[in-house]
């Protein structure tokens, strides 16, 4: 475990274990690590049985191939049998609990969109077959693109047999607010058990309040078994009658009386889903504004199915302000401050420690994690020292470089551009750091397919370098090579030849004909000559 997965910070605590934000050091990506506590393991024999059950459940969970189920990457059982780890996809989004507001129930379309996506996920799970057993708002997450993710499939099942058991306290395992009557009674769990929980969730989304609100666990369980649910339209008159009927059908006490399967539930939800191309209503737009900043709209995948990612800068980011170029995660306009020498030394020590960690990660090519490590320090350092303090700018540069090496050019680009402006204010427009930032920003644009802007940016920097250091400095040579290669990859072979042929001549003089860079340019020129079919300048006619 420790050799591959690092635990960075706890995300959630539960009766069955803890969820951590972790890192896969081999693949350089964030992960969710679920540490499951096997309370039942009290002997080597039980440990062996527990291991078999754990691996079986992990494999079954991994078989649910649907984008609404976070992927299972790995299942680890340590040699002592004391801890189990499930390593899974880390989802960036909001739990459904963030959407439940008693004072402002969700638009009907939003609640239906969530329910329809959950139903789709359950249809794949029930086919395996896997019953979730613990469906509830905190186990349902809406990702940033509006995709609903259902968490913790099979996790509850790892700690129980196929028949729900009572714990030593006499309480059934599960979440009492969403527990089907058959779970309360300790009877068999079936796919229709998940349908009851889905009915509880939809009722809560539409009303802003749980289905039942008993003051004790025992009272809640009794209500699920004996009390009829309040029809939705008595609590919220604008709910369509057919939707109210569906929710009441899901909440019937006898499992066999509920809808036959989740496919039926989805078909009955379809009339209330937005159609492709349909624009949000005023009430739906208001729901976005009233929710948490950046609240994902779960209807988006129905309005624009299979739509491409939003362009950079088109989300709900704060508007730009003149002079606001402190960079991502940096408080804008933070002025330099004068700290006592003891505090300044403490910050210098902290930066040295983080720099050492960053350098170790970069040596291991864990670029994405290195960027995260640096990002955690930048904002507090900017608040303490000033956003344009030289050590803070250096931290930001390191983060931008690691983002670029990790392939996240979209995130690195605005940081390089902001850093260029910040360095220009302190050292002038022609400084080495300004040129470096502008060149890296241009390279990011090239990777993002913005070729015209990339070539313009590289050419601009090359002019600055030529004016300062000449045409064959290390920086100039690198820029000339990048410009030529970018032209070549775009099929502009004649223009690429015009850039690379004189560069090759210079390299032969400065570095020698057998230098690695000289040979790289020579090979590209050879390909260009073939591509031009003998018509390149200087080729035989």
Q: Go through the chain and tell me how many residues it has.
A: 541
Order across the sheet with 72-77: list the strands.
5-13, 17-24, 29-36, 84-88, 72-77
Secondary element (H or E) of residue 148: strand 148-150
Where does residue 43 rank: exposed (0-12), middle (13-18), buried (19+ CB within 10 A)?
exposed
Catalytic pick among 24, 134, 194, 482: 134
Q: Are 170 and 184 in contact (CB under 8 A)?
A: no
As beta bridge partners, residue 141 has 95, 149
Distances (CA, A) of 103 to 94, 115, 203: 19, 21, 15
324 catalytic residue (yes or no): no
As beta bridge partners, residue 94 has 142
Give the C-alpha separation, 361 to 368, whole Å.
Answer: 9
Query: Which positions ≥6 away from 78 have C-beta within 8 Å?
Result: 1, 84, 85
State in Å, rounded, how far the first CA of the chain is from the last one: 65
Give the C-alpha separation, 461 to 516, whole Å.
Answer: 24
Q: Are 308 and 297 in contact (CB under 8 A)?
A: no
Buried b (16+ CB within 10 A) or exposed e, 332-346: eebeeeeeeeeeeee
Query: Which positions ≥6 away from 99 have C-beta within 8 Å?
Result: 106, 110, 114, 137, 142, 205, 291, 295
Token duo for residue 284: 């739906």
Q: Are 416 and 458 in contact (CB under 8 A)?
A: no
Token duo for residue 299: 């209807």
Query: Which positions ≥6 away from 23 have C-beta within 8 Å?
Result: 5, 6, 8, 29, 30, 31, 366, 369
The distance of Cα 329 from the centroid of its chain, to the nearest Å, equals: 16
Give the C-alpha separation, 221 to 326, whole Å.
Answer: 54
Secondary element (H or E) of residue 18: strand 17-24
**DSSP state, 134?**
-
List residues with catalytic annotation: 134
């Amino acid at each position: 475990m420790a050799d591959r997965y690092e635990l960075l910070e706890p995300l959630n605590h539960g009766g069955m274990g803890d969820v951590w934000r972790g890192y896969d050091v081999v693949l350089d990506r964030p992960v969710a690590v679920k540490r499951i506590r096997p309370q039942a393991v009290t002997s080597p024999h039980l440990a062996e049985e527990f291991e078999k059950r754990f691996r079986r459940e992990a494999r079954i969970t991994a078989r649910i191939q649907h984008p609404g189920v976070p992927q299972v990457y790995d299942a680890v059982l340590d040699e002592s049998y004391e801890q189990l780890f499930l390593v899974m996809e880390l989802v960036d989004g909001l739990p459904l609990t963030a959407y439940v507001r008693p004072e402002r129930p969700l638009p009907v379309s939003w609640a239906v969109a969530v329910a329809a996506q959950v139903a789709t996920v359950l249809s794949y799970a029930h086919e395996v077959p896997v019953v979730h057993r613990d469906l509830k708002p905190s186990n349902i997450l809406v990702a940033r693109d509006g995709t609903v993710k259902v968490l913790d499939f099979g996790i509850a099942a790892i700690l129980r047999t196929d028949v729900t058991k009572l714990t030593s306290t006499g309480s059934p395992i599960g979440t009492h607010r969403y527990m089907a009557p058959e779970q309360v009674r300790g009877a068999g769990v079936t796919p229709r058990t998940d349908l009851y929980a889905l009915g509880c969730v939809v009722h809560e989304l539409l009303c802003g309040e749980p289905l039942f609100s008993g003051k004790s666990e025992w009272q809640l369980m009794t209500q699920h078994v004996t009390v009829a649910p309040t029809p939705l339209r008595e609590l919220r008159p604008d709910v369509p009658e057919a939707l109210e009927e569906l929710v009441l059908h899901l909440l019937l006490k006898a499992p066999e009386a509920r809808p036959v399967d989740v496919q039926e539930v989805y078909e009955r939800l379809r009339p209330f889903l937005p159609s492709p191309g349909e624009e949000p209503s005023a009430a739906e737009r208001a729901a976005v504004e009233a929710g948490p900043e950046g609240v994902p709209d779960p209807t988006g995948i129905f309005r624009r199915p299979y739509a491409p990612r939003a362009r950079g800068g088109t989300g709900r980011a704060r508007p730009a302000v003149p002079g606001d170029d402190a960079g991502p995660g940096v408080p804008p306009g933070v002025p330099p401050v004068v700290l006592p020498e003891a505090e300044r030394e403490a910050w210098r020590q902290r930066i040295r420690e983080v720099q050492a960690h960053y350098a170790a990660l970069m040596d291991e090519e864990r670029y994405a994690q290195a960027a995260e490590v640096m990002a955690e320090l930048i904002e507090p350092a900017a608040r303490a020292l000033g956003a344009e303090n030289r050590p803070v700018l250096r931290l930001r540069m390191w983060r931008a470089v690691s983002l670029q090496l990790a392939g996240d050019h979209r995130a690195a680009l605005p940081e390089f551009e902001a850093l260029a402006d910040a360095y220009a204010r302190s050292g002038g427009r022609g400084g080495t750091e300004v040129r470096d930032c502008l060149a890296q920003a241009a390279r990011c644009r090239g990777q993002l397919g913005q070729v015209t802007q990339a070539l313009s940016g590289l050419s601009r920097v090359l002019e600055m370098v030529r004016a300062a250091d000449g045409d064959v400095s290390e920086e100039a040579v690198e820029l000339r090579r990048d410009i030529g290669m970018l032209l070549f990859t775009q099929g502009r072979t004649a223009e690429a030849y015009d850039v690379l042929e004189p560069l090759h001549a210079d390299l032969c003089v400065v570095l020698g004909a057998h230098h690695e860079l000289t040979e790289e340019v020579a090979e590209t020129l050879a390909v260009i000559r073939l591509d031009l079919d003998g018509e390149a300048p200087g080729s035989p006619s």
